[in-house]
């Protein structure tokens, strides 16, 4: 085995070893987020931004704007709900909407 091969293998192993805790933490955070409770539209904070679970029922919503296409939505594509940066620890419906909606850039 040449020095180049050993260095290369060492580098790969070090990279994998250092990257594992980061990947594990990301997986744990993702699992925690998926287990979070849904935001209740009757919550004071939800009412403050006029959150609704169905954007078609929001009077001031820009047409076709939903949580799923909001700049601060963190849910996976196609998921029925996901985390929102303004409601930490809660999930919002992908079809929902609130007055803080902002377009994705």
Distance CA 84, CA 1 (A): 51
**Residue 98 in the binding site for ligand SF4 (CB under 6 A):** yes
Question: Under the criterion CB under 6 A, does residue 61 sit at the interface with ligand SF4?
Answer: no
Q: Does 90 bind ligand SF4 (CB under 6 A)?
A: no
Among 67, 81, 90, 91, binds ligand SF4 (CB under 6 A): 67
- Cβ burial of 51 (10 Å; 0-12, 13-18, 19+) is buried
Provide the binding-site residues for ligand SF4, judged by CB under 6 A.
51, 67, 70, 72-73, 84, 86, 92, 96-98, 100-101
């Amino acid at each position: 085995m040449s020095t180049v091969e050993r260095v290369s293998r060492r580098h790969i192993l070090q990279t994998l070893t250092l990257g594992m805790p980061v990947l594990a933490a990301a997986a744990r955070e993702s699992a925690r987020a998926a287990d979070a409770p849904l935001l209740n539209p009757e919550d004071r904070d939800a009412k403050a931004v006029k959150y609704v679970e169905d954007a078609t029922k929001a009077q001031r919503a820009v047409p076709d704007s939903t949580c799923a296409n909001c700049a601060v939505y963190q849910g996976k594509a196609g998921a029925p709900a996901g985390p929102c940066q303004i409601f930490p620890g809660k999930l919002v419906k992908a079809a929902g909407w609130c007055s803080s909606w902002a377009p994705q850039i």
